[in-house]
Structure 1
Amino acid sequence: MVYSHDGFGLGNIRRMLAICTHLLDSIPELSILVVSGSPMLHSFRLPRRLDYIKLPCINRGTSGELSAKYLGTAIDETVKLRSELILSAIANFKPDVFLVDKKPYGIRNELKTAIEYLKAELPETPLLLLLRDILDHPDVTMQEWQKHGYYEAIEKFYNRVLVVGTPEIFDIRQEYQLPPRVAQKVQFCGYIRKELGRKSPNLVRNELQLSPEEKLILVTPGGGEDGYSLIDTYLSSLALLPTSHKLRSLIICGPEMPLKDRVALEQKAAAYPQVHMCEFTDDLMSYIAAADVVVAMGGYNTTCEIISVSKPAVVIPRVKPSQEQWMRAEHLTKLGVLAAIHPDKLTPDILMRSLLQQLNNLQHNISTPAIDLNALPKISQYISTLLVKKKSVVPFGKTYQPPEQLRDLARVAIV
């Protein structure tokens, strides 16, 4: 069973689906149930033996404040509903392994009762916490973890913390001052290698009717909810393009971009016949592989996709409500993996100069340093080992007593 809360964008659910797909491909007779609040989960091509329970959506604005995204309910009521759905799923599905994304107690502690129930009723089921390479600035992360008791939660409940990153780029044990008993549970897995998409680069370029001398620039702001500025600046930068360069631009706005923003960008893009714009693709990797240069936000998944095919890139990271994207981009820029522009300094001129530099690097075949991309096989190997070792023993003398309303819910679910 996999938990992915998804309060903002597509990053978490895309990462978890990549992990789930690899697990299903590499572990025979495995079934995975995903519980997620992602509003876009149904849009992805889901592998066989995977199903999901859709939780009511929670939205996290740029201020970090949470609210119900679609329901006209208070945040406390929404979290309570999600928490009860998760508990019911655990009681029925009885997972052999429970993989939790990012937050040890879930968003707004919605997992806490379910984890306590799981440990009492299914104590042989290992709990694994999955963390991306960087969560936020250390000051912010350590304060949040201390406030919510995450250090204690990991020490008490979790068997292992799987980090999809490398300590050479960012060592969470040191940066977040993990206590020794928590730090010893950390296992660095490397970054997630993204497999090539369903279309070959030649097919993509033929579909877009590119001539041999044209360079393809892919522009993607991820989910797109806050992607207007990036695309607007890129379109403005095209007026500064030297006539000696022949570029074709494919802009994928993202499914969560507000309609008014997308309409405004489409109107602006109409002035540039070499620009093609669309809303969403579930096969982004095909277009990244076909592009000559990528212009993107600095989300974890997009960064892994860029690295997986050694693609020149200009990254304009999000800096609110988390510093995670900017911190990652800074580290990778220092390594020469990509170019980054702070959004506060983003102008058409700066963006075009950075883009032309990446095209120049491409022309001169400047290589980038190798990054460990073995996260998926390492995670699969670890979970395979757990499943082999797992003992199906029903413990005696259970003492756990959940709150009355959740106890009743679990009893009904089990019946």
Structure 2
Amino acid sequence: MKKILFYCQYLTGMGHLVRSTEIVRQLVKDFQVCFINGGPTVPGFEIPSQVEIATLPPLWIENGQLQVTDGFANIEEVKEARRNALINLFDRFKPDCLITEFFPFGRHKLFFELIPLLDHIKAVAPSTKIICSVRDIVGRTDLDKEEETICQLTSKYFNCILFHSDPKFQKLEESFSRVKELNCKVKYTGFVAQSIPENNDLSEFDLANLNRKEPMILVSIGGGRIGYELLKSVIQSSSILQKKMPHHIQIFTGPFMPEEQFLQLKQAALSKSNVTLQRYTSNLIAYMRKADLSISLTGYNTTMNILRTGVRSLVVPIGHYSYDKEQVIRTKKLEKLGIVEVIEPENLEPAYLAQKIMDCLTKKSDPKANDLFDLQGAEKTTIFLKEELFEKSVFAAA
């Protein structure tokens, strides 16, 4: 079998990890895969058992700065350890292909390890294919300052860009103006969306929650480093909603929500019999399918769950930083298509939110939303890679 080394680094949320894992879930059917995890551990998150996992000393960003885990003296020590680990792993695994998730369109804070790795590959194994896996929207308002660097890196190192979007929704040139200067192939794979799990794949906790008789309002904020204000407002509005209609509110805070914020929300929810607060489930899409209303941000994977299930959706476009417009761009397109209702972050006053929730629940959901776009991105990524690595068209007979 051909070998693929898949580099994944999530610095703020966990969307890159979720999307990459869904791709890897398909790749292992045709390739031997080693998955490089550069971010902090997510308790309960599962990577397919057939995949070899290489865990780097984790890095993440808080307040715009790289953070390191306990056990290392400083950031430079972590950088050296990761740089050496990547090169040693490449030499041991000897992949036919390296996939870098999001780099070179992002992850420039990781030049210290990625450029030495790419230079090493070019020196010792120049036939290795180097491919970028990137989401639908690059999204940064300051991208024009780095477009030249991105073009240079792509031309020097990369064979292909796998763009995980349906061009009917978002084209690469809409968030990256210099596509024609990338000097490598660009393949649209369609969106990478999770499959809905069978009941026998769910935990007893999830089954119990999903079998409640009351209508479910599902609230989630991805990894949890942003979105606290939304959850706080939902809990406050639950008292108003309880008087108006039968329901149960299921909240997932995300594994990376700061402990202090989580405890504050937990305390606020103690007296609310219509609220269940948990950190994380690996089966959020199953809750999406069951929910009468989903309230969320508009990260890539949450949006894919909305499209897959057709759930009624109320969304709040909150970016990680002021320069990251990814969710705003995605939200405007979803709203224009009538797929979601939107509430702006500055309008999260509990009474207003409660009324917005009741208004949304009176509208019909659109289960045909999953027919609007190509959601086979993980499967088509595997097809494209087979074509690239075996150097023959898998569509030759078509």
1:174 Cα deviation from its structure 2 partner? 4.3
Q: Is the 8 A contact 2:227 2:318 kept in 1?
A: no
Alignment of 1:188-199 (within 5 A): 188-199=188-199
C-alpha distance in 2, partners of 1:64/1:317?
Answer: 20
Question: Which letter maps to 1:56?
Answer: P
C-alpha distance in 1, partners of 2:283/2:212?
Answer: 23
Equivalent residue, structure 1, for 2:126: 123
C-alpha distance in 1, partners of 2:19/2:230?
Answer: 23
Deviations 1:317-370 (A, max 9, x none): 32232221122111111111112223233222332233223211237x686471
Deviations 1:1-44 (A, max 9, x none): 0011111121111110110001113x1xx221111222225632
Q: Is the 8 A contact 1:67 1:74 kept in 2?
A: no
C-alpha distance in 2, partners of 1:32/1:206?
Answer: 32
Q: Is the 8 A contact 1:217 1:292 kept in 2?
A: yes
Equivalent residue, structure 1, for 2:331: 329
1:68 and 2:72 are equivalent in the alignment: no
Q: Is the 8 A contact 2:135 2:163 kept in 1?
A: yes
Alpha-carbon spacing, 1:116–1:205, altered in 2? closer, same or farther (3 Å): closer
C-alpha distance in 1, partners of 2:238/2:50?
Answer: 46
Task: Extract unaligned runs of 5+ from structure 1.
Answer: 391-415
Alignment of 1:30-41 (within 5 A): 30-40=31-41
1:185 Cα deviation from its structure 2 partner? 2.2
Alignment of 1:11-410 (within 5 A): 11-25=15-29, 27=30, 30-40=31-41, 43-61=44-62, 63-104=63-104, 107-109=109-111, 110-137=113-140, 139-146=141-148, 149-182=149-182, 185-199=185-199, 207-208=208-209, 212=213, 214-241=214-241, 243-321=243-321, 322-362=324-364, 368=369, 370-389=372-391
1:136 Cα deviation from its structure 2 partner? 1.6
1:5 and 2:9 are equivalent in the alignment: yes
The 3-state SS of whatever aligns with 2:388 is: helix
1:209 Cα deviation from its structure 2 partner? 7.7
C-alpha distance in 1, partners of 2:153/2:271?
Answer: 55
C-alpha distance in 2, partners of 1:344/1:356?
Answer: 19
Deviations 1:359-393 (A, max 9, x none): 11237x68647122121121110111123229xxx
C-alpha distance in 1, partners of 2:122/2:13?
Answer: 31
Mean alpha-carbon deviation: is it higher for 344-353 or for 249-258? Answer: 344-353
Alpha-carbon spacing, 1:16–1:160, altered in 2? closer, same or farther (3 Å): same
Deviations 1:244-263 (A, max 9, x none): 42111111122222222222
C-alpha distance in 2, partners of 1:66/1:159?
Answer: 29
Deviations 1:142-164 (A, max 9, x none): 22333xx2211111211111111
Q: RMSD between aligned alpha carbons?
A: 2.5
Task: Extract unaligned runs of 5+ from structure 2.
Answer: 393-398
With structure 1 as the length reference, what TM-score do the two structures score? 0.84
Alpha-carbon spacing, 1:354–1:72, altered in 2? closer, same or farther (3 Å): farther
Deviations 1:53-77 (A, max 9, x none): 211222212x433232545544344
Equivalent residue, structure 2, for 1:413: none
Identity of aligned residues (%): 24
C-alpha distance in 1, partners of 2:381/2:367?
Answer: 32
Q: Is the 8 A contact 2:159 2:184 kept in 1?
A: no
Q: Is the 8 A contact 1:56 1:71 kept in 2?
A: no
Q: Is the 8 A contact 2:224 2:257 kept in 1?
A: yes
Alpha-carbon spacing, 1:92–1:211, altered in 2? closer, same or farther (3 Å): closer
Mean alpha-carbon deviation: is it higher for 126-135 or for 341-350? Answer: 341-350
Question: Which letter maps to 2:13?
Answer: G
Question: Which letter maps to 2:146?
Answer: E
User: Which has more radius of gyration?
Assistant: 1
Q: Is the 8 A contact 1:248 1:274 kept in 2?
A: yes
Q: Is the 8 A contact 1:326 1:342 kept in 2?
A: no
Alpha-carbon spacing, 1:328–1:69, altered in 2? closer, same or farther (3 Å): farther
Q: Is the 8 A contact 1:189 1:375 kept in 2?
A: yes
1:227 Cα deviation from its structure 2 partner? 3.4
Deviations 1:281-327 (A, max 9, x none): 22222222221111112211111111111111112232232221122
1:194 Cα deviation from its structure 2 partner? 1.5
Alpha-carbon spacing, 1:206–1:130, altered in 2? closer, same or farther (3 Å): closer
Equivalent residue, structure 1, for 2:396: none
Q: Is the 8 A contact 1:221 1:254 kept in 2?
A: yes
1:91 Cα deviation from its structure 2 partner? 1.2
Q: Is the 8 A contact 2:98 2:130 kept in 1?
A: yes
